[in-house]
A and B are shown apart, each in its own frame.
Chain A
């Protein structure tokens, strides 16, 4: 689904990613851990196409998969969301050639460590514009107001979120935990193929962590989807079990392993594990 080859980039002229390679297949959940300043958030922003995170070398191929979900099996997705993406086959896309909004329409979702507040634009309006922009880019009909509200209600309920919060301006006055839950509601509504979640666990208390973890599993744990979790801590991985764990240090993946690697890091610290 995602093939990152020897990716290098600079932020403000300073090299951050220094030849990062990573392959993620459909149906997999990968976790990237690493010390502060290793380049974890930079990787997320570079993949999302944030201005100022200039890619200087390497390639990223994105292949939205063509696995079909049997009708009726995916209970929480309304039938109106029959997915044109699945009929396009599985041609790899040069992700870095796309603008940020085109990457989203291709099926990439970026969960922000610090979700942005947008005063004056309601969550519902924002999400409806976003979903219909993506659908338009994929040659699908826009959702009507009624269809959209039904979808939004279902996804908000999944994350224990009040519909009133969806009517409020985007993230304005939300607590840290509410912002993260709102990110997951957005992910549920936009229904991406690949989610890159940047420290989605930070700022969450134990209960919120469980809800968000369950949300990620429900929305993304599917044979045609994949997740890249960026996190400092093992605790989210108790709820969202990764298939692979990678250690990012000084702009490169320096170690990869199974879920046990996260436990080892938690127990012994980055310095110890990296030195070994």
Chain B
């Protein structure tokens, strides 16, 4: 994606569930942010996408993780009319990439995490965990492609996406995609979409917990753990507080 790129359409797989009107308002978008992790190095990054209401926020990352290097990324995607975060990751030999993401949306928001992780060399590992909570008419999507090249034997990759719909009007899209040319690999993927457990809500009510608090407790437990791996305590607290505030805003409506 660069300044000369034509406006994409929903015919393109990576844009299938996007909000093209919102995209058009900010197109063309800036060139993707490049992250290079040199051989043997280890980096961690975070993105708290909390753009103002109505905004179109598109964050594209191209990440090169060299041989034996490791990159961890934590993303909380909650802001804007459109909040789109994409990762194009290329892994060297024995490199590692971990994505931990949460999407929390309501109203008319479209929030998406789109990833392509290319295992180009042997022995690399990748893990992606994304949790989504969606209310109102929000759409939350995880499109995750893992490509394993012919030489990338012993690749170990996993993708886990779980979504919780607070109302029947909300939408979750999950599309893990595997493209494997090597024969000795492990590529796990799983996706579930569910609703709040009604029997748990009544159980909590029967103990005196009001519906709004019960919902918040259940939702907090649903996303709990996504940000556990953020090493910097202050950043972790900031992510947890932003997630909680967004959950409470969803509840208050």
Q: Which residues of A contact B (CB under 8 A)?
A: 48-51, 99-101, 103-105, 109-110, 112, 115-121, 125-127, 129-131, 133-134, 137, 169, 186, 190
Contact = CB atoms under 8 A, between A and B. Distances in A.
26 contacts: A48-B202, A49-B205, A50-B206, A51-B198, A99-B211, A100-B205, A101-B206, A101-B207, A101-B209, A101-B210, A104-B206, A104-B207, A104-B208, A109-B206, A116-B203, A117-B200, A118-B218, A118-B221, A125-B217, A126-B207, A126-B209, A127-B207, A129-B209, A130-B208, A137-B208, A190-B207
Taking residues whose C-beta sits less than 8 angstroms from the other chain, chain B's interface range is 20 to 34
Contacts of A51: 198, 202
A110 B218 contact: no
Interface in B201-230: 202-211, 213-214, 217-218, 220-222, 224
Given A116-B200, A129-B213, A133-B213, A121 B221 contact: yes
Contact of B204 (A48, A99, A103, A118): A118
A129 B205 contact: no
Contacts of A115: 203
B33 interface: no
A110 B209 contact: no
A131 B209 CA distance: 8
A137 to B, nearest CB: 7
Interface of B: 197-200, 202-211, 213-214, 217-218, 220-222, 224
Secondary structure of the B side of the interface? helix
Given A116-B202, A120-B222, 6 more contacts: A104-B206, A104-B207, A118-B197, A118-B203, A134-B208, A169-B221
Contacts of A119: 221
A112 B206 CA distance: 10
A190 B208 CA distance: 9
Given A116-B199, A116-B200, A120-B224, A100 B217 contact: no
Contact of A99 (B198, B205, B224): B205
Closest 4 CB pairs of A and B: A120-B221, A104-B208, A100-B205, A130-B207
A130 B205 CA distance: 8
Contacts of B203: 112, 115-116, 118
Contacts of A100: 202, 205-206
Given A118-B218, A119-B221, A131 B208 contact: yes
